[in-house]
Amino acid sequence: MEYVQLRHSDLTVSRLCMGCCPMGGYGWGETHEESFIAAIHTALEQGINFFDTADTYGLGQSEITLAKGLGNQRKDVVIQSKFGVRAGRGRTVIDNAPDYIETALNGTLERLHTDYLDLYVVHYWDQKTPIADIVGTLERLREKGKIRYFGISNIRSAHMTQWLPFAASLTTAQYEFSLSCRTHESELKEAARFLDVSPLTWGSLGQGILTGKYDASASFGADDRRSREIYINFHGDKLRHNLQIVERLRTLAERYQRPVAACALRFILDYLDHSIVMVGIKNPDQLNANAQAIGWTMQGQDLRLLDQISRSPAMLEEI
């Protein structure tokens, strides 16, 4: 396993972070608790010590399942959870109010069966709660020993300067980034450089399109969020472009003798210095395939090729 120390902290984490969104049991098709727990155990065996969840994933179910899977090994891992997305009763709102932050954290700690959280992350900024109030609340929670560090997620570039006065208190910044989504690349790099935080990527496999498991006939049931057109990686021109990227990945996978998914993840690890990839996992087989992204380096020419073709479909015709 490869490890990196998170900025402004004494936390050393695996560069592959097990994403626990599917553990919520909602929106990812058929899932099974025993498969999640087996995947957690496999992750620990592979040297993965970093787990990402959020109170909104299955309205807390993800945190409950993660605690169950970790058991008495909680002290051996780094857990990050996120707050700010309040879901339920048919509506979702973004809320960073100080009183809600502590309430949300207490619920998370209870579900995780722990008295502290290694990393607490602002899932989204509501753009109305003063940042000083958010950071001040998190600092007080740190003084109480309830959290060790905190970070940000999905902060827009236009708001970056507003977070700058608090940069020394921040540890991580996470954004969607993959070969199928370069939309937030500049924000991810800006946060890493401007705020001096460790970069984390979510959606690292494009909700699964970069695993090589799907083709143009891919379809999903109503219980799978990818059936909705808002998940553009599986629809229209975007799907066609993604499948072209996957074909290039297949060629590299054969050369490197690695799974397609591992090559897609390795691109991120080599492209973004000191980055950590977060990958949603449903079972041990997925975990083992993704773990093969670790322990090797992609050649520069292959990195450049993937960089070019993922930016524009037109590049595929020129290469």
Q: CB 259: neighbour CB atoms within 10 A?
A: 20
Say yes or no to pLDDT of 159 above 80.
yes
Give the Cα separation of 119 and 53 in Å (integer): 11
Dump pLDDT digits (tens) for 104-142: 999 999 999 999 999 999 999 999 999 999 999 999 999
Structure tokens at 264: 């897609």
Helix axes 236-256, 300-311, angle to 10 degrees: 170
Task: State the pLDDT at residue 267.
Answer: 98
**pLDDT digit string (tens) for 229-277?**
767 777 778 888 989 999 999 999 999 999 999 999 999 999 999 999 9
Burial 269-300 (b: 16+ CB within 10 A, else e): bbbbeebbbbbbbbbbebbbbbbbbbeeebee
SS3 98: helix
Q: What are the tens digits of pLDDT across the range 188-240? A: 999 999 999 999 999 999 888 899 887 777 767 667 767 677 677 777 788 88
Cα torsion 315, 203, 78, 153 to 10°: value is 100
| Domains of the chain by start residue, with CATH | 3-314 (3.20.20.100)
- Higher-scoring residue by pLDDT: 164, 29: 164
Residues 6+ apart with CB under 8 A from 73: 44
Distance, CA of 113 to CA of 66 (rounded, Å): 10
Short-list 40, 93, 95, CA closest to 62: 40
3-state DSSP: the chain helix, strand, coil percent, rounded to 5?
Answer: 50, 20, 30
Distance CA 22, CA 85 (A): 17
Angle of helix 33-45 versus helix 61-70 axis, rounded to 10: 50
Interstrand relation of 85-88 and 198-202 (parallel, antiparallel or unpaired): unpaired
Predicted pLDDT of residue 32: 83
What is the model's pLDDT at position 89?
66
Q: How confident is the model at residue 314 (pLDDT cuts 50, 70, 90)?
A: low
